[in-house]
Structure 1
Amino acid sequence: MNLLSTRQKIFIAKCAHRFVKAWRRLRGLPSKAEFTRGGLRWMLDLNEGIDFSIFLLGSFEPDAVRCYEARLRPGDVAIDIGANIGAHTLHLARVVGPEGKVLAFEPTAYAHAKLRANLALNPELVPRVTLRQLLLMDTPGAAVPETICSGWPLTKEEGLHPEHLGMPHTTAGAGASTLDEAVEAAGVGRIAFVKLDVDGHELSVLRGATKTLRASRPVILIELCPHVCVEHGYPFSDLVQCITGLGYRFETFNGRALPDDPAALEKLIPAKGGINVLALPR
């Protein structure tokens, strides 16, 4: 597991970004361009953290990509909640194949537009992906916040989140729904896999997903980030107990069991940081 705080990860990314930016400037290359990475086409802004990760590493969170590549099968249905620019959406669509389906949910206009552009660069994936500009919550039709962080700039910017250094972007055009409602509207079959990374909204999403999770028992890839839980007004223990109460247990990507006890689990997570784990049905 990665034991760096979010600030430390951003600092490392900024150091690498300076070298790459200088190298590209010397050669007259733009910071925004089309690239092929991981067998997929991307429109990337190298001044953005997620984009830069795809450019440099071949994918964003490569360990997560390897994890679901090993678990998903052609024809499966996967869900990407907090899809951002499609860093995982496109890989999920590639893995489930022509007979599979990916439901992708992203509430901010900025990231939603970038996801749509990246998807258009890979036309063979378009029929496999249902993209909706929705904030998934526990109450249908609830008020959507005016802004949500969906960018992590590597250049100096004003107005960044004080802890995870995210840039807020407007949610203009977004609706609110529960996952249960969205899945029913999509008319898909059994859900095999859910990726959930919504920077503190995880508890609300899960409370609106109980029907889906109980019916399909999907594997869940979730980021556990205690300090953003507190920022959103609930203790980390509420999130852990919600997941375990739905009949799930925690595991690392390499199969090591993690504790169900919230306090013991929190000790494994870096201060002001988070870890990606699997929640597996018991």
Structure 2
Amino acid sequence: MKAAIIPGDIVWDIGAHVGLYTNYFLDWVGEAGEVVAFEPLPSAFVALTLAISTRPKNKNNAVLQPLALADYSGEAVFTDDKSDNKINPKTAHLIENPDEGEGIKVKVDTADHVVIEEHLSIPNVVKIDVEGFEESVLLGGEKTFANPACRHLLIEIHFERIDERKLGDSVGRMVKLLKKWGYKVRWVDASHLHASR
């Protein structure tokens, strides 16, 4: 990720959680860059906000968005899974059926709509870590991610969650979509895709 980012870049952290990578990105983009961090889980968003507000530098270069990105606008239920006794579980995720368990209602929007509504610039580099909703994020951001200004998409693929959601060859469809948008796609390891141009 560091090699993909140039000082002055606009970086999106989709699924920012408590801000580990958001902080790295702010260091790497420098004073002329910007990092937009998306995190729907309220407790994680509070921790993210605190982490950024206490930074020694570049904290004003962060735009924090308390929402999930997907292929529709509206609301969804986000798991409040504390089975590992953590306040901000790393595996918390959107669920399609609210009857499956307790959860928290969160705001959902598409990348394309957020760019317009929030007057955001097209990102140069995007990190996506969304627990099985990777394809949904891409489908909601065709204009954004297909834009030539967007040079890199770094995507964590959650195969187990994709299987749970019965999405079939979601990964194959994502690779095909990324190539259609003009990216070269390679596997960094068994669960991370890097699309670049």
TM-score (norm 1): 0.58
Other-structure match for 1:241: 173
Q: How far apart in 2 are the matches of 1:186 and 1:213?
A: 16
Gaps of 5+ in 1: 1-67, 254-267, 270-274
Q: How far apart in 2 are the matches of 1:70 and 1:152?
A: 36
2:70 to 133, 137, 143: 137
Residues 84 and 213 from structure 1, CA distance in 2 versus in 1: closer, same or farther, beyond 3 angstroms?
same
Q: How far apart in 2 are the matches of 1:148 and 1:221?
A: 26
Residues 211 and 243 from structure 1, CA distance in 2 versus in 1: closer, same or farther, beyond 3 angstroms?
farther
2:123 is paired with a residue whose SS is: coil
Other-structure match for 1:222: 155
Give the fraction of aligned pairs with identical amino acids, expressed as a percent. Answer: 27
Other-structure match for 1:93: 26
Q: How does 1:26-37 map to 2 (within 5 A)?
A: none
- Answering whether residue 135 of structure 2 is matched by residue 203 of structure 1, we say yes
Q: How far 1:131 sits from its partner (Å)?
A: 0.4
Residues 136 and 109 from structure 1, CA distance in 2 versus in 1: closer, same or farther, beyond 3 angstroms?
same
Runs of 4+ aligned structure 1 residues displaced above 3 Å come to 165-172
Q: How far apart in 2 are the matches of 1:124 and 1:152?
A: 36
Structure with bigger helix share is 1
Q: How far 1:184 sits from its partner (Å)?
A: 2.4
- Answering whether residue 192 of structure 2 is matched by residue 276 of structure 1, we say yes
2:186 to 248, 251, 256: 251
Gaps of 5+ in 2: 94-101
**Alignment length, in residue pairs?**
183
In terms of Rg, which structure is larger? 1
Other-structure match for 2:98: none
Q: How far apart in 1 are the matches of 2:25 and 2:10?
A: 9
1:84 to 17, 28, 38: 17
Q: How far apart in 2 are the matches of 1:241 and 1:127?
A: 37
2:20 is paired with a residue whose SS is: coil
Residues 122 and 112 from structure 1, CA distance in 2 versus in 1: closer, same or farther, beyond 3 angstroms?
same
Q: Deviations over 1:175-197 (max 9, x none)?
A: 11101111223334342100001
Cα root mean square deviation, aligned = 2.6
Q: How far 1:170 sits from its partner (Å)?
A: 5.0
Q: How far apart in 1 are the matches of 2:162 and 2:104?
A: 21
